[in-house]
Amino acid sequence: MTSEAEKSTGPRHIAIIMDGNGRWAQSRGRPRLFGHHAGAKRVREIVEACPDLGVKYLTIFAFSTENWKRTQVEVAGLMGLFRRYIAKEARALKDEGVRVRFIGDRVRLDDKLVGLMDELELLTSDNDKVHLTIALNYGGRDEVSRATKRLAQDVAAGRLDPEKVDEETLPKYLDTYVLPDPDLVIRTSGEARISNFLLWQSAYAEYEFIDTLWPDFSPEIFAGLVKNYGRRERRFGGVIA
């Protein structure tokens, strides 16, 4: 039998693949963007729930490198939504002690959006109650390839000894270098795949794949998943006697 001391404590860092906005809207006879707007409102509730659940870090998958394949109308609508969300929520996030970071490749994003992202990161840089990381134009393979390129440049410039490169080296070049690895990854909407999200960082994360569509993902459901995590035994490749 496992003692209380051997049981997992609550997750400090939770990452969420927020899936199902489009299907949620279509099931109501509305355009897909209606679902994305509903999903954006849900983000605020989940962020607000984090402190009471002991969740210090929350990382959400907002837009992947593969999402550019969607229709031009949907992509343009999403970019507009991101701009409005940042402008609308900036002051509240600052006042509520939320520190915001963005991860992903910003090169393809428009200048106005990037400027708003930079401003929000600076505005909230002194906050420490909850660390909200938003993955925008993010892909795990893209992140690793960009990190590897920077690592190779340091080796070529003589700033890094290739003989000293190990599994602790690459994380220093990742977008998430200042964050702890996620303890729990949640995907909504019934899909059971990780979709190129935090591939390196989630090597030992626990996963929850749930049927709930993201706009229906309530703080109560969130709290239940946090509670379930606390019952898990995390061995990290070892064995608990």
The amino acid at residue 28 is R
Catalytic residue among 19, 137, 175, 183: 19
24 labelled as ligand-binding?
yes
121 labelled as ligand-binding?
no
Give catalytic status of residue 67 as yes or no: yes
Q: What kind and span of H or E run contains 59?
A: strand 57-64
231 labelled as ligand-binding?
no
Catalytic residue among 52, 67, 127, 154: 67
Measure the CA angle with vertex 66, ends 62 and 70; round to 5°: 85
20 labelled as ligand-binding?
yes
Give the number of other CB atoms < 10 A from CB of residue 11.
24
| Nearest residue to 38 via CA among 50, 15, 62, 21 | 21
Give catalytic status of residue 19 as yes or no: yes
Q: In what order do the strands lie in the sheet with 98-103?
A: 98-103, 130-138, 57-64, 13-17, 184-187, 206-209
Q: How far apart are CA 143 and CA 173, in angstroms?
A: 9
191 labelled as ligand-binding?
no
202 labelled as ligand-binding?
no
145 labelled as ligand-binding?
no
196 labelled as ligand-binding?
no
Supply the residues annotated as catalytic.
Answer: 19, 67
Residue list for the binding site: 19-24, 32, 36, 64-66, 68, 70, 187, 193-195, 206
Binding-site residue numbers for Mg(2+) are 19, 206
Sequence ranges of the binding site for substrate:
20-24, 32, 36, 64-66, 68, 70, 187, 193-195
